[in-house]
Structure 1
Amino acid sequence: MKHYQTTIHRLLIALITLFAVACSSGAKKSPNDETPECMKYRTMMTAPLPPAEMVKLKNNCEQSRH
């Protein structure tokens, strides 16, 4: 009987620990996450665009992160 009690306690501690870890590891949005503006800028980087248009796309990307 004592062996079962020890096993149940260990299992309970393991489950509580796993639950706490799972709840605390939420995905937070970082500043490096891709916004639509940044995705457009990245896809257009190799396109033959005038420099002013490329700067505009880059600025739109940077502004969308704030």
Structure 2
Amino acid sequence: MVVKHCLARDRSGQATVEYAVLLVAFFTVVVGLAAIWRASSTGKLLELAQESCSHGFEMSPDLDAWKDILLF
């Protein structure tokens, strides 16, 4: 009977560790979503997307029509 009591006590620590790990993961997701939301609300995310998309088309001046179509 003493052995069962010790095993039950050992399992309660596992739940605490699992809760702590999931809590950290949840807060990481929340902070990441908040950062994406803030970047998109200030227009910085759109600006970065436009810069990275147009970077590949700067080398060839013949692709102005494709640039207009793809970046619209």
> Sequence identity of aligned pairs in percent?
8
For 2:58, what is the secondary structure of its paired residue? Answer: coil
Q: Which has the higher contact order (CA 8 A, sep 6+)?
A: 1
Listed as ranges, the gaps of 5+ residues in structure 1 are: 50-66
Return the alpha-carbon distance in structure 1 between the equivalents of residues 20 and 46 of structure 2.
Answer: 34
Distance 1:47 1:12, change over 3 A: same
1:17-32 alignment runs, 5 A limit: 17-25=17-25, 26-27=27-28, 28-29=31-32
Quick one: which of 48, 58, 64 aligns to 2:58? 48
Return the alpha-carbon distance in structure 2 between the equivalents of residues 39 and 2 of structure 1.
Answer: 63
Query: Which whole-Å deviations, capped at 9, do the CAs of 1:13-60 have from their partners, x for residues lacking one?
Result: 1111110221123222369x78232122111111128xxxxxxxxxxx
1:11 shift after superposition? 0.8
The Cα RMSD (Å) is 2.8
Listed as ranges, the gaps of 5+ residues in structure 2 are: 60-72
1:11-22 alignment runs, 5 A limit: 11-22=11-22
Return the alpha-carbon distance in structure 2 between the equivalents of residues 11 and 2 of structure 1.
Answer: 15
Which amino acid is the alignment partner of residue 38 of structure 1?
L
